[in-house]
Amino acid sequence: LNNKPAIILVSPQLGENIGMSARAMKNFGFSDLRIISPRDGWPNIDAINSSVGAVDLINNAKIFSSIQDAICDLEYIYATTASTRSMNKRCIELSHLQEEPKKLGILFGRENSGLTNNEISFSNKILFIETEDDFSSLNLSHAVALACYKISRIYETHKIFSTQYEESATCQDLNHYLNYLEKTLDKTNFFKISEKRELMIRNIRNIFTKIDDLSKTEINILYGIIKALDKE
């Protein structure tokens, strides 16, 4: 188990949602899965089958019969909801969630009715997953995925992309290319209205300068296109 929050499913009904929740947890580096009173008992073959590569989380899931037992070692509890509640408890929107330097647990309610007010009372804060007001019922595993994703972003320091970029074209490379293009177009009737020549050249430049991260290889391809057309 790592230091990521515990994900606590409260009386989930469908094994498939448990499995898909486990998969989403693993996608974002979570490993501590706790389940309170799963409706269809435990182990659950649907949970195993739908967990895909996260069957280790299913096998290591801890099963409890009460919320008290499930959260006893944790330090701070969020109760998720997608609908607003009249309750004198602070509510934080998922998109505004900040780092909380405590041992966290996050409660997710049953598919058909969410968490009861009694269950929410065990939480320190309500974690509100923002949805459309008139269609707020999230699939359980979607709610887990959203919370795990957001929290993983809080934990993660900005990672540099490992994409291998090609050698970039310089501005000079592009200018040479555009001059070549212009010269080639001069041989055609492209610039036939001479007053508009300058404007047209600028328009062309504006198009090509909007190509992000143009590489030398790509410039050569662009040259190749003109040369090919010019020979016709």
Where do contacts with a second copy occur on this chain (CB under 8 A)? 20, 23-24, 26-29, 52-54, 82, 84-91, 95, 128-132, 135-139, 141-142, 145-146, 149, 152-153, 156, 159, 161-166, 212-213, 215, 217-218
Q: How near is the Cβ of 22 to a second copy at its closest, in Å?
A: 11
In sequence order, the 6+-apart residues with CB closer than 8 A to the CB of 32 are 1, 2, 4, 5, 6, 7
Q: How near is the Cβ of 70 to a second copy at its closest, in Å?
A: 23
Q: Which is nearer to a second copy, 29 or 184 (CB)?
A: 29
Q: Which is nearer to a second copy, 31 or 37 (CB)?
A: 31
Tokens of 163: 């994409």
Dihedral over Cα of 216, 219, 223, 228: its sign: positive
Tokens of 215: 């590489």
Q: Which is nearer to a second copy, 165 or 195 (CB)?
A: 165
Q: How near is the Cβ of 135 to a second copy at its closest, in Å?
A: 5
Q: Which is nearer to a second copy, 70 or 110 (CB)?
A: 110
Alpha carbon distance 180, 80 (integer Å): 61
How many of the other CB atoms lie within 10 Å of CB of 120?
Answer: 21
Q: Which is nearer to a second copy, 70 or 79 (CB)?
A: 79
Contact (Cβ atoms closer than 8 angstroms) between residue 33 and residue 61: yes
Q: How near is the Cβ of 175 to a second copy at its closest, in Å?
A: 20
Per-residue buried b or exposed e for 70-89, using 16+ beta carbons within 10 Å of the residue's own CB: bbeebebbbbbbbeeeeeee
Q: How near is the Cβ of 161 to a second copy at its closest, in Å?
A: 6
